[in-house]
Structure 1
Amino acid sequence: MATDNTVTLIGNLTRDPELRYTTGGRGVASFGLAVNRRWQQNGEWQEAVSFFNIVAWAELGENAAASLTKGSRCMVTGRLEQRSYDNKEGQKVNITEVIADDLGPSLRWAQAQVERISRDGGPGGGGGGGGSASSAPDPVYGDEEPF
């Protein structure tokens, strides 16, 4: 039986994306997302907020760090991933994160200007990692232009 682990969230960034690089040069951005939920109960509005840690790798993370700021309304599609580590006190800590597959600004109450970047890391950034990334076709779109 196949299982699907996909989540889509729409919320506001709780902090600017923090962009770091692995020792291999791969970018990774992390930020927080607050998702508000409102409902009416007995004629009164109720509200709850859920907080999620978002992780975006490679070009997606680099673009997120260059485009999004604290307070930005953002849509995130990705998967839930759980991991654990030992903290400074030696206690095991379990966390659940959303590993982003795609991100985008919400256009419900704002406007955005899309700037296409070069896939070879030329003007406008993008390539991330050097090498001949532009010589191999994209695994999803092949040689087709995304837009």
Structure 2
Amino acid sequence: MAGETVITVVGNLTADPELRYTQNGLPVANFTIASTPRTFDRQANEWKDGEALFLRASVWREFAEHVAGSLTKGSRVIATGRLRQRSYQDRDGQTRTAIELEVDEIGPSLRYAVATVTRAVSNASAARPGVSEQWATPESGGDEWSTPGSAYGDSETPF
């Protein structure tokens, strides 16, 4: 949408994502991403950490269950989403403002780690009556170049 503040944050999860369900049964996962800038001090000839940014983040629906089942405390992640501001009353009756990241996409950073990705079973056809979603794989004889959901082993990667 126009006018929204979209950002990308690279950092580490400070705790396991907390998966909860609304009264209507809608899953939501909340977590905090800590991002600490590092700069090289030429005079001291060493790296120095700046002040850490702690950003609360949330994901909803099936995405929340995927995040809660995949990421853990300390995971280095790359997250992109929209900043949201909300106001609330604290216990003393003071109005407070919180800025949170509503995550559109998140995944592990592969700079210092390796990851294995497993495609989740899609509920798209259940969510949209009349729409069937099929994922072709090399095993099913599908066209792995034009269809999402391709599955490649290490020796089969096409590039």
Cα separation, 2, equivalents of 1:136 and 1:93: 45
Residues 119 and 134 in structure 1, CA contact (< 8 A), matched pair in contact too = no
C-alpha change, 1:77 and 1:137, in structure 2 (3 Å) is: farther
Question: 2:22 aligned with 1:22, yes or no?
Answer: yes
What is the correspondence of 1:68-107 to structure 2 with a 5 Å cutoff? 68-107=71-110
**Higher fraction of helix:** 2
Residues 60 and 103 in structure 1, CA contact (< 8 A), matched pair in contact too = no
CA RMSD of aligned residues (A): 2.2
Cα separation, 1, equivalents of 2:5 and 2:100: 12
**Higher fraction of strand:** 1
Consecutive unaligned residues in structure 1, runs of 5 or more: 121-126, 139-143
Which of 1 and 2 has greater Rg?
2
Please report how far the alpha carbon of residue 59 of structure 1 lies from its aligned counterpart in structure 2 after TM superposition.
1.6
Task: Report how many aligned residue pairs link the two structures.
Answer: 132
C-alpha change, 1:146 and 1:78, in structure 2 (3 Å) is: farther
> Scaled by the length of structure 2, what TM-score is found?
0.74
Of all paired residues, the percent bearing the same amino acid is 41
Report SS of the residue matched to 1:29: strand
Q: Which has the higher contact order (CA 8 A, sep 6+)?
A: 1
Corresponding position of 1:55: 58
Cα separation, 2, equivalents of 1:112 and 1:137: 31
Consecutive unaligned residues in structure 2, runs of 5 or more: 133-146, 151-159
Residues 119 and 149 in structure 2, CA contact (< 8 A), matched pair in contact too = no
